[in-house]
């Protein structure tokens, strides 16, 4: 309940209500893009400052390794299950969407931990960056395999549209502007340390909560307007959008317990595992998997999973992490 009284979460709820009543309230795309880049830059700086203080320890390596392991296991598990009930291309697209991560969900979780005064490692921002690409790469591999089976060993074209190579996906993943900004800001924070933190406090600290509130207002509007895309979809897919993240968070909690992560890092790992991409992955999938239905994976991630994680998932995962990992 305390999470629902947070100003940023209340602005998200307000955005959902405004979108539901079909208000003409909207955030211009250019401003929304700026807010997204600001949050990533501020998050990277915070992570870099924290890393500068703690140093690159074995715990950092363990946390990053756990993140990469989940980024590989979750889309594999999702594809294996979903292809039994829906077409292969749609299964690959949904598995990639849920195998990747939501930066806004992660940023909101970081703010929640700070509000609760729960410490966490700055390297978890790097973990978020590492978890974005594996699912996309696997989706392309799955799709190319399906095309080979359908069209023969020399046909990698479906419906007259060229497939996207793994190499191209790797290039786009590692040169994506948002990813580079996050990692670059982290490097800046790592190099400048305490002096940089003091200098950037008005930017990366004082403004952060207000900017997050503004961005979550926009996300609430988007979530409400994309929810109709889910209507008429298979109940099994709706169940996956609701329960899949819970299962993924459970995997992250088990891994965190086995690796003896602290509650803050374990909670963020759970949030990352439970989140689903609605920006980076859908943008790539439109070109990499043109055979998949965008309204399916985009509507599920933004219309169902994102609001549930923001409103209920984050406090639940943090509470579980504290109970199990303390």
In-domain check, residue 73: yes
The size of the chain, in residues, is 326
* Tokens representing residue 93 in the block: 């697209």
Q: Which of 216, 286, 178 is nearest to 19 (CA)?
A: 216
In-domain check, residue 18: no
In this prediction, residues 292-296 reach a mean pLDDT of 82
* Lowest pLDDT segment from 32-36, 88-92, 228-232: 228-232
In-domain check, residue 174: yes
Number of structural domains found in the chain: 1
Please tell me the distance from the alpha carbon of residue 159 to that of residue 296, in angstroms, as a whole number.
19
Residue 262 above 70 pLDDT? yes
Which pLDDT score is estimated for 52?
83
Contact assessment for residue 300 and residue 94, using Cβ atoms and an 8 Å cutoff: yes
- pLDDT band for 143, please (50, 70, 90 cuts): confident
Which pLDDT score is estimated for 234?
79
Residue 195 above 70 pLDDT? yes
Instruction: Tell me which residue has tokens 């970081």.
Output: 110
Which pLDDT score is estimated for 162?
47
Contact assessment for residue 260 and residue 248, using Cβ atoms and an 8 Å cutoff: no
DSSP output for 237-289: HHHHHHHHHHHHHHHHHHHHHHHT--HHHHHHHHHHHH---SSHHHHHHHHH-
Which pLDDT score is estimated for 222?
83
In-domain check, residue 180: yes
* Distant-in-sequence, close-in-space partners of 128: CB < 8 Å, separation ≥ 6: 67, 101, 103, 106, 182, 272
Residue 251 above 60 pLDDT? yes
* Distant-in-sequence, close-in-space partners of 29: CB < 8 Å, separation ≥ 6: none
In this prediction, residues 75-104 reach a mean pLDDT of 91
In this prediction, residues 10-38 reach a mean pLDDT of 89
Which pLDDT score is estimated for 158?
42
H or E element at residue 29: helix 29-54
- pLDDT band for 3, please (50, 70, 90 cuts): low
Measured CA angle at 124 (ends 123, 130), to 5 deg: 95
- Mean per-residue pLDDT of the chain: 84
In this prediction, residues 110-124 reach a mean pLDDT of 90
Which pLDDT score is estimated for 95?
93
Which pLDDT score is estimated for 157?
46
Contact assessment for residue 170 and residue 137, using Cβ atoms and an 8 Å cutoff: yes
* Tokens representing residue 288 in the block: 């990499």
Which pLDDT score is estimated for 160?
45
The model's pLDDT over 155-191, given as tens digits with 9 standing for 90+, comes to: 444 444 445 555 665 566 566 666 678 788 888 988 9
- Tell me which of 299 and 258 has the higher pLDDT: 258
* Distant-in-sequence, close-in-space partners of 58: CB < 8 Å, separation ≥ 6: none
What's CA 6's distance to the chain center, in Å? 21
The share of the chain scoring above pLDDT 70, in percent, equals 89
Which pLDDT score is estimated for 166?
56
* Lowest pLDDT segment from 20-24, 116-120, 175-179: 175-179
Q: Which of 268, 278, 275 is nearest to 64 (CA)?
A: 268
Residue 282 above 90 pLDDT? no
Please tell me the distance from the alpha carbon of residue 54 to that of residue 205, in angstroms, as a whole number.
19
The model's pLDDT over 202-224, given as tens digits with 9 standing for 90+, comes to: 988 888 888 888 888 988 888 88
In this prediction, residues 292-311 reach a mean pLDDT of 87
| Confidence (pTM) | 0.83
* Lowest pLDDT segment from 12-26, 39-53, 56-70, 170-184: 170-184
In-domain check, residue 19: no
In-domain check, residue 221: yes
* Tokens representing residue 132 in the block: 């974005």
Contact assessment for residue 169 and residue 100, using Cβ atoms and an 8 Å cutoff: no
* Tokens representing residue 191 in the block: 């190099």
The share of the chain scoring above pLDDT 90, in percent, equals 33
Q: Provide the domain limits for residue 296.
A: 3-11+30-325
In-domain check, residue 23: no
- pLDDT band for 133, please (50, 70, 90 cuts): confident
CB atoms < 10 A from the CB of 128, how many? 30
CATH of the domain at 237: 1.20.1530
In-domain check, residue 210: yes
Q: What is the DSSP letter of 319?
A: H
Please tell me the distance from the alpha carbon of residue 208 to that of residue 41, in angstroms, as a whole number.
10
Which pLDDT score is estimated for 320?
96
């Amino acid at each position: 309940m305390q999470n629902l009284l947070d100003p940023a979460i209340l602005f998200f709820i307000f955005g959902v209500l405004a979108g539901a009543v079909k208000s003409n309230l909207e955030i211009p795309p250019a401003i929304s893009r700026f807010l997204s880049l600001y949050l990533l830059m501020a998050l990277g700086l915070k992570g870099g400052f924290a890393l500068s203080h703690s140093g690159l320890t074995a715990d950092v390596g363990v946390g990053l390794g756990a993140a990469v392991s989940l980024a590989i296991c979750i889309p594999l598990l999702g594809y294996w299950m979903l292809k039994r009930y829906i077409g292969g291309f749609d299964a690959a697209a949904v598995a990639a969407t849920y195998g990747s991560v939501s930066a806004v969900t992660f940023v909101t979780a970081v703010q929640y931990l700070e509000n609760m005064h729960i410490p966490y490692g700055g390297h978890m921002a790097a973990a978020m960056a590492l978890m974005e690409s594996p699912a996309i790469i696997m989706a392309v591999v799955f799709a190319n395999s399906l095309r080979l089976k359908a069209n023969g060993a020399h046909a990698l074209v479906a419906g007259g549209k060229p497939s996207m190579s793994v190499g191209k996906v790797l290039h786009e993943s590692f040169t994506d502007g948002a990813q580079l900004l996050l990692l670059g800001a982290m490097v800046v924070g790592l190099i400048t340390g305490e002096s940089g933190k003091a200098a950037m406090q008005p930017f990366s600290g004082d403004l952060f909560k207000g900017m997050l509130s503004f961005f979550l207002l926009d996300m609430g509007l988007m979530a409400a307007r994309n929810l109709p895309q889910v209507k008429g979809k298979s109940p099994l897919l709706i169940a996956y959008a609701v329960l899949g993240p819970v299962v993924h968070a459970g995997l992250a909690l088990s891994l965190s317990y086995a690796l003896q992560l602290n509650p803050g890092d374990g909670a963020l790992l759970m949030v990352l595992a439970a989140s689903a991409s609605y920006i980076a992955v859908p943008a790539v999938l439109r070109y990499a998997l043109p055979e998949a239905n965008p309204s399916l994976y985009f509507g599920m991630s933004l219309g169902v999973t994102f609001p549930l994680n923001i409103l209920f998932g984050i406090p639940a995962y943090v509470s579980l992490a504290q109970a199990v990992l303390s």
